[in-house]
A and B are shown apart, each in its own frame.
Chain A
């Protein structure tokens, strides 16, 4: 924060776009259900992808488990073809865009994780990780598998992303945060939107049934459901020294829109509130909220407001 402030103070940011304003094709969230699973159990992957040009998209994925990536690094970073050893390719599909007003496209992909049992997993590590030690890791902290996602339109690659899941045989297993719910407060008016109780994926609907209407150019406060401590979980890791230590999840909120300005790109409990300066141009605007727990769990939704 301090360095960002310093750079802003000396005017270094220039014309660079802030991450919270969506102008280009983006993967805003990837949800693995569940995020932590034993070998052989299905994991459903869904991605909240936005393309302002509303083009047909195709998603492809790979799953890689390699010793070199135990630290959770992506295998997609170096401008080269990702290594295939230890990787499994999944299915591809073409999905039509689902429109929500003028912007906001959501698509999803169902797949299952192909590591049938520990022997298959151990074979991918070979001599680098002895079987007994691999079993210990899988029972204690979980072993990371990197899921790579590539979004294309036609033959053009739009964006690449990756997400980690854990192969874990211990208890308890981590879960995703509940679907988001947040308040939009303009002055005395408070509007709650929620993705709970709706069948539409990644969609927050007004709890009172009315799309919030906001005055152009005003400031509104966005407040996530403050009851986040209830879903935060404890878990164990093997730290950098090789010791087993406890960790605790937290709640992280990432905010996105297509107009106006957020005061913060991300918020975190207890300072979970954000302030949005509403765009000056009237119209319908999306608000995306992605909630993460810092342990692979994710939930996300899109809400819509009207600006007059």
Chain B
């Protein structure tokens, strides 16, 4: 699949944003009114900023962004629609929650319940994003049980990484922050390892023979057009296997770097300034690979033997 930058940016930025927002919700839930309002405001602005950036960037991917509102209508059947609905729905409790936390809205009683609600909605949104991909039967690498967990774990890891960094700036650093980030990052490592093992081992059961109905001896002879078409540009992209392995290792490298940096926060919390970018970079690279390694069934019509 073509790794479109708008989509990569969308999923990684909004993933981190929702992760951070969810954690803020939990922090708010935990600490109630004792929390630092400035820290809360800045962190929440960053979280919502990332989410909004992601959502905006996702609309760049649309051919008709001015019609984006229409995407809320099909929540009954479409994960993309659900994601849109939940994503926007998250803003509501989130904004009220922030307002209460920062005492703009003097309703301290709302902080805890809205904090929890925000966190839950964040998790649902990220799950919906994952679901968009994991429900596509046409793309084996996505139609995989690890897809949603990976999205969630990455969201949490990058959110926790960010949280550590922001907290450090505001002197609100607490051990649980890097610890959580490290655990989430290790979870990502585990899930990603399992994911890659799973897609590497998955039997590619769709064949050109079944796609064309022409039997096992079929091979592509002539492309329909000598110039590339949308399908070839969009679904024909495939990163070379050797290159992909290198990139996978780079992802692991950055994830481990993240964990090490988080551990080093024991020495000084400023190491979170290594950890946060490292996990974000790993997320972007991982997302790029998520697309670039995914083979679409339609490639069978364009010469691939199996998918």
Q: Do A and B come together as binding partners?
A: no
Write the residues of chain B forming the contact surface with A, with a CB cutoff of 8 angstroms.
Answer: none
Write the residues of chain A forming the contact surface with B, with a CB cutoff of 8 angstroms.
Answer: none
